[in-house]
Amino acid sequence: MATSRKWYSPYVSPMDPCPPLSPVSYETPVQLYLGFQPRGMEQFSPFEALAHGTLWPGLYTPYTNPYLLKKRGIDTNG
């Protein structure tokens, strides 16, 4: 199963005016990998489908604010 978020670290210059916000994330949701949806994929119940925004667990790719993760990291370090 492919991960839906990737991280990379852009170059940090000693001359940069602000502290680096590295690493930087970007999203790679499931539709990039699935191809044509195969027959017979598992389904949510109607109520769960509404809550998830899709009938298909295999197409559900939730999102969370990546900066919150980093903020927590900085808080625990500081």
User: Pattern of binders to another protein over 15-54, x per CB under 8 A?
Assistant: ------------x-xxx--xxxx------------x-xxx
Compute the distance between CA of residue 78 and CA of residue 56 in angstroms, rounded to an integer. 41
Bridge partners of 77, per DSSP, are: none
- Least CB distance from residue 38 to another protein, whole Å? 11
**What Å distances lie between residue 14 and 8, 20, 35, CA to CA?**
19, 10, 43
5 contacts another protein (rule: CB under 8 A): no
**What is the binding site for another protein (CB under 8 A)?**
27, 29-31, 34-37, 50, 52-54, 59-63, 65-67
